[in-house]
Amino acid sequence: MKVIGITGGIASGKSAVTDILRKHFDCIVIDADQLARQAVEIGTPGLKKIVETFGASILTETAELNRSKLGEIIANDEQARKKLNAIVHPEIKKLYNQQIAFYEKKGLATVYYDCPLLFETNLDDHLDETLLVVADQEIRINRIIERDQLNREQALKRINMQMSDAEKIARADVIIENNGSLDDLLMAVNGYFSNKNN
């Protein structure tokens, strides 16, 4: 079974591409963000380790992870972000391996893996192909401002927290540009499949 990774920086349109893959091409897409949520659910080793590292104040009144509070901590503290990643990534990997085994058993030919930190975690070494979704920085800034109700400075900070597009482009097998409309993006994904089938 082939596993193809999909990634892209914040507001690049990676989620739009995975939606297109699911809805228009009936692809199976494993979502790393969903696995990340599962990895820190109540009762998981992941959540237990986060509480041990960041303290019980990181929990809500219902003993769930307070994502916004954790987000504030890691946005301003590189070491805290590294500690969090060291806890969560191994837990995500376990869940990912379970999903891969499940789809292999079902006899699927190809599965896609939607992973925001694909290159940062060197997952590309374990995949058959990598698809990178890119968009011009100004377009991404405007999307973040509109979507997340942030100002320009905050939007730029979020972009700069991530690996640069130039670094990702150097490592990606396929680049999908998303500077236009949803129809343009659908055409780009369609072009990707046309090239695969030739």
Of 12, 22, 10, nearest to 112 by C-alpha is: 22
Please check if 16 is assigned to a binding site: yes
Beta strands 129-134 and 2-8, pairing class:
parallel
Distances (CA, A) of 4 to 1, 31, 66: 10, 12, 32
Task: Give the residue from 20, 26, 30, 3 showing the smallest Cα distance to 133.
Answer: 20
15 is in an annotated binding site: yes
One-letter identity of residue 78: E
Ligand-binding annotation for 80, yes or no, is no
Q: Is the Cβ–Cβ distance between 15 and 98 less than 8 Å?
A: no
Q: Is 12 annotated as a binding residue?
A: yes
Contact partners, residue 141, CB within 8 Å, separation at least 6: 11, 152, 155, 156, 159
The annotation status of 164 as a binding-site residue, yes or no, is no
Q: Any known ligand binding at 14?
A: yes
* DSSP-derived secondary structure letter, 108: -
Annotated binding-site residue numbers for ATP: 11-16
Annotated binding-site residue numbers: 11-16
